Amino acid sequence: MSHSSELIAEDIEQYLKAHEHKGLLRFITCGSVDDGKSTLIGRLLFESKLLFEDQLAAIEADSKKFGTQGSEIDFALLVDGLAAEREQGITIDVAYRFFSTDKRKFIVADTPGHEQYTRNMVTGASTADAAILMVDARHGILTQTRRHSFLMSLIGLRHVVVAVNKMDLVDYSQARFEEIVEEYHELARELGLGEITFIPMSALKGDNVIEHSSRMPWYHGTTLMGYLETVEVDDERLQRAPFRLPVQWVNRPNLDFRGFSGMVTSGVVRPGDAIRVQPSGKASTVKRIYTYDGDLDEAVAGQSITLLLEDEIDISRGDVISGVEQPAHTADQFETTLVWMHDKPLLPGRPYLMKLGTQVVSATVTAIKYQINVNTLEHAAAKQLELNGIGICTLGLDRAVAFDAYKESQDTGGFILIDRLTNNTVGAGMLHFALRRSQNIHMQHMDIDKQARALAKGQKPAVLWLTGLSGAGKSSVANLVEKKLHAAGQHTYLLDGDNVRHGLNRDLGFTDADRVENIRRVAEVAKLMADAGLIVLTAFISPFRSERQLARDLMGDEFIEIFVDTPLEVAEERDPKGLYKKARRGELKNFTGIDSPYEAPEDPELRVDTSRMSVEEAADMIMTTLRERGIIG
């Protein structure tokens, strides 16, 4: 199942050894629908002798059933593995294939061309060294060509082949090829694309794919395979970059051994080199470079190693070990480009987890500066990012991290966002630079802390977070609980949804994005009040679990979620403010329970149902809970 090589027959051990040490090139194919991406990969697999006889037989049968080439083999079917793809004749998911030649091994990702699969194209390109952009010689530069070119520039692909395909359908015209080259050069200058190679070819007929075509004697450049076998891979470039080792594991099998394990993402390290650990900034010297096979005199990008240092310094998973002369930067606020990959939109203020290398921290998109139209490259204002949307955003973290700008290092500058509740990857992004305020704002030490303030009040601080539908009785219950606490001599404050919107949040509406920001602000205020030693009550619909989780994370054990679990029909029947009637008549948009969702708590500390108990009974239940938790006496 391998490419043909005389070594296989002559010296199999020598062949296997040579195969093991061959370099690896990762590349993608992209471009408009029906430009021939899958056909090209099928041709490469076929020419590389990477198909079993039964695979050839199967593809011949499938070509008769699904193919578009009459009695000839349809090479695209080798890649389009999904039934939906074969039926529609398009690529939907990213298809990865492996092949090799005597000079190099290859992993190719066939990425989809449709706009709705932008996230799939970004996924395939994120680990690629090079890209083959397919252009149909008949149609030239299309909208999807521009879209994928923009995404390539966004991701920072350094090596691009513009494969002008289907030259057989334009009679191998040199004039048509040169016309497309000139048009694409203008686009490349607009996008700032670097090295570009143009190759006229026919994937179906094999022209200029493996060997030079006799049908295009006017072309004297490289074949596609010649390019793929000789283009510089990132591993070679990364070895010249500053040293970076994101720590994946603190390796301590016994008291006498303490090493820091991970993969070298860039640069070279040797025993005796001075290093700096970020974000702490502590410095030391490399004592040993340990591997399973023994110590090394040096380690380069792509190698997994364990470093032993001369000094005992505190290093944890997620830290980045750098060369002391060019260490990684540190910051907790950034300007980024973000590609949104989830069906639910990105809402500024909503908390996510951010994975940057081996670091995982809490992150919030604080603002969307603008959204980029991938078809026209125009900038547009946006309050949220929908699926496949791309925006320039500001990102805030809960602590400083070590990073490099994405254009300098994809490993320490590229990140993903993860939904805190489902653990689904919802976005991918690139760090551009740290915001100046990230370096200028520091936490100020206070001599009087939360414990001292609470002790002076003779109570434990807490945040009682009442959530539920409009009309469930949140405000009534919270008001009565505060009266009971006040009568008992406790120090309290009640934050009510309507009252807060008259002041602090008067600038917010009722869209999903505004609801997220409403609760984020309230959670921060409640945290400050709890820090003052108060028992804080909040009465808000707070419809989304993510924002309630944000409040819980801010307050920790002091957060008590109280679900006022009153059925919609009961709340709507009460309708104390007439809001449900307005919503039903279409006069009130984005009303929770009618045309905006309410995500009920899954595991609240307390659940009360005001359709089955009185306000007095609900308040007494809460008071009992506070006594049991030791918050009040």
Catalytic residue positions, numbered: 542
Nearest Cα neighbor of 164 from 128, 193, 125, 196 is 196
Q: Are 232 and 207 in contact (CB under 8 A)?
A: no
- Other CB atoms within 10 Å distance of the CB of residue 375: 12
- Here the tokens at position 468 are 């539920």
**DSSP-derived secondary structure letter, 558:** G
**Whole-angstrom distance, CA of residue 466 vs CA of residue 323:** 51
Lay out the sheet containing 95-100: strands in order across: 95-100, 104-110, 23-31, 130-136, 159-165, 195-200
Nearest Cα neighbor of 164 from 189, 201, 127 is 201
**Whole-angstrom distance, CA of residue 599 vs CA of residue 545:** 6
Output the CA angle 258-264-269, nearest 5 degrees: 75
**DSSP-derived secondary structure letter, 596:** B
- Other CB atoms within 10 Å distance of the CB of residue 441: 11
Nearest Cα neighbor of 280 from 419, 418, 399, 454 is 399
Q: What Cα–Cα distance (Å) separates residue 30 from each residue in 122, 218, 512? A: 10, 26, 35
Cα–chain-centroid distance for residue 156?
16
Sign of dihedral through CA atoms 624, 539, 351, 399?
A: negative
Residues 6+ apart with CB under 8 A from 142: 32, 136
Q: CA dihedral in degrees (211, 215, 219, 221; nearest 10)?
A: -10
Q: Are 594 and 580 in contact (CB under 8 A)?
A: yes
User: Rg of the Cα trace of the chain?
Assistant: 30
The residue type at 188: A
**Whole-angstrom distance, CA of residue 39 vs CA of residue 36:** 5
**SS3 of residue 563 by DSSP:** strand
Q: What Cα–Cα distance (Å) separates residue 118 from each residue in 38, 93, 414? A: 17, 10, 17
Phi, psi of 303, rounded to the nearest 5 degrees? -95, 140
Q: What Cα–Cα distance (Å) separates residue 417 from each residue in 14, 414, 426, 429? A: 45, 10, 6, 8
Residue 193 CB burial class (10 angstroms; 0-12, 13-18, ≥19) = buried
The residue type at 107: I
H/E element holding 520?
helix 512-531
Residues 6+ apart with CB under 8 A from 179: 140
